[in-house]
Amino acid sequence: MSIINAYDESEEIVKPEIFVGKAMKLPEIAIVGFKKELIDEVEKNPDFEEYSSTPVCGDVIKIYKTSVSNKDIILYKTLMGGPATASIMEELHCRGVKKFIFFGSCGELTSNLKKGAFIIPTSAYRDEGTSYHYIPSSDFIEVETYKKLAMIFDKHNIKYELTKTWTTDALYKETVNKTKDRIALGCKVVEMECASIMAVAKARNIDMYQFLYTDDTLDGNAWNLRTLREDRTTMIKECLRIALEVAKEI
């Protein structure tokens, strides 16, 4: 059976609520990033406190808490890739999180985007495995919250680009021909989580918001790391500021 036929509506045997057990209940909104700089920033910010944790892959992910507009919000750094990110999302949803705000970097597929440009994905090409276990097969999965997120960005005069994204599990198999094909389908960027986390959101009735910023570029036949190895502290600070504004309005 092909991976695109993996969707099955029968009852799950491995359930996150069993793994989570009686772990502490969490606030309804979570901000999620992927970079170490996010935790560096949060740990020196007096508005955040270390609040809880969750075990994953033999390690522990710290969970921080803050409040904005009388809302308690948690924040954590997830792992790279759809399977890990989706699993952590499932476990924290079982602990009470109903709305997730994700931000992270993406690779540019075309040359008309500036480095550090903000992207709001409208749909994701499903070139990964996780989403096919959560929802029926299709080429794309729509990001249902993108219009609301764009309205929030507009309200705060934050410039952004709306585009389809290419979600892949295989970082080192982003080939020339695949890239040309994804561009032809309307994708301007590539990343590793959007389709997976959106599928979890659809299956579990979760509100998932995501924005990205351009980092490296695949435009042409050579990979340009551009800002990929640079200190992203300034960008992470700005993403955190935006995510907190989003949290106030969802």
pLDDT in tens, 193-209: 999 999 999 999 999 99
Six-digit token string for 178: 């695949």
Q: Average pLDDT, stretch 172-176? A: 92
Expressed in percent and rounded to 5, the helix, strand and coil fractions of the chain are 35, 30, 35
Superfamily of domain 25-248: Nucleoside phosphorylase domain (3.40.50.1580)
For residue range 97-141, list pLDDT tens digits in order. Answer: 999 999 999 999 987 777 789 999 999 999 999 999 999 999 999
pLDDT at 225 over 70: no
Question: Model confidence at 228, in pLDDT bands (50, 70, 90)?
Answer: low
- Structure confidence at residue 38 as a pLDDT band (50, 70, 90): very high
H helices of the chain, in order, are: 16-20, 36-43, 82-94, 131-134, 146-155, 176-184, 194-204, 233-248
Tokens of 74: 């948690």
Contact 76, 30 (CB under 8 A): yes
Q: pTM for the complete prediction?
A: 0.95
